[in-house]
Amino acid sequence: MCRCWRVDRHDGVVMSFTDFDRDLVFDAVTYKAASGFTATAIEGQLELAVSNLDVQGALSSDVLAEDDLHGGRYDDAIPVMTLS
């Protein structure tokens, strides 16, 4: 199992990452292998539904530019996380 997450910026830029050891393609989106976060244990319910998950940390990737961070391009970005 691995975690995949996507960040949708308000300027239309979409970035996607995974904690898997190589890039993955899921639903026609390429998730780049990245690290820098820690996920808590996942508590499951019947039918494999996930009832809770907490992710903490900082994303580390060469595609994240310091100028974009300081320029506010990630302010109010929409994060989406998927378990695969």
pLDDT in tens, 13-23: 888 888 888 99
pLDDT of residue 25: 92
* Residue 68 backbone dihedrals phi, psi, to 5 degrees: -65, -40
Domain that holds residue 53: 3-83
Q: Count of domains in the chain?
A: 1
Other Cβ atoms less than 10 A from the Cβ of 74: the count is: 18
Can you state the percent helix, strand and coil of the chain, rounding each to 5?
A: 10, 50, 40
pTM above 0.85, yes or no: no
**Positions in the chain whose pLDDT score sits under 70:** 35-60, 81-84
β-bridge pairing 43-44 and 50-52: antiparallel
Q: What is the pLDDT of residue 52?
A: 57
* Contact call for residues 31 and 24 (beta carbons, < 8 A): yes
